[in-house]
Amino acid sequence: MRKKIALITGATSGIGEACARRFAKGGYDLVLTGRNAQRLEAVKNAAEQEGAEVCLLLYDVRDRQACAAAVDSLEGRWREIDVLINNAGLALGLEKEYMGSFDDWDTMIDTNIKGLLTMTRLIVPAMVERNHGHVINIGSVAGDAAYANGNVYCATKAAVKAITDGLRIDVAETAVRVTNVKPGLVETNFSVTRFHGDQERADKVYQGITPLNGDDIADVAFYAASAPEHVQIAEVLVLATHQASGSVIHRENV
């Protein structure tokens, strides 16, 4: 029996890195993508220590031609992707919509929506042809309802939900499964990126609450992928214990 292969976008840190380690530990070989060669190599080394064989693809999901060239470069069994984890994504800025940055908006839309669509378009046709596969999109609680100053980021994650639901409908006649994992507060480099490197401001996001971490979300993704073939985990909302929604968070001693 051949080992299954998971392709994970944005695998250099955070949830993507955690998914790489979890799926490697769970017996998968990995195709890992990202923009930082040094970080990808470090994640590759960690996955190999868990017994995985790893193929690295260095590109930005915003670059459609680079995505296509990278996928086309896969040879042999590496083309038979069992699980696609569309993880690459980010938030930039936390301003009122009428004060937002055009550049930040473009980056979020091009990464969170168009990058996800590109990878889906490149990988899923082969899954449909084989009548086997699983797409796991990393969405967000932010996709359920907008929160103050979240505007465009929330919109991109609402799009992820709609795109995921649409794909699930489109492949319903096949054995391809589609899952949307929607995390709440996850302490990764997410907030540092959102605040353009302002560590102090990022740290305040997690004050007074024990947030989720990348491993928590990776466990959920792996659970969905490991369910029996007749079981499709369509959507999972994962929140910290003291988080009730995207905007309702109880903080201790703050």
Cα angle value 49/228/27 (rounded, 5°): 10
What is the full DSSP assignment across 95-141?
--GGG--HHHHHHHIIIIIIIHHHHHHHHHHHHHHHT-EEEEEE--G
Q: Is the Cβ–Cβ distance between 130 and 80 less than 8 Å?
A: yes
Residue 180, H or E segment: strand 176-183
Catalytic residue among 28, 59, 98, 153: 153
Residue 56: which residues within 8 A CB-CB, separation 6 or more? Answer: 31, 32, 33, 37, 40, 41, 44
Q: Does the annotation mark 206 as catalytic?
A: no
For β-strands 133-138 and 5-8, DSSP reports them as unpaired
C-alpha span between 83 and 34 (Å, rounded): 17
Q: Which residues does the annotation mark as catalytic?
A: 153
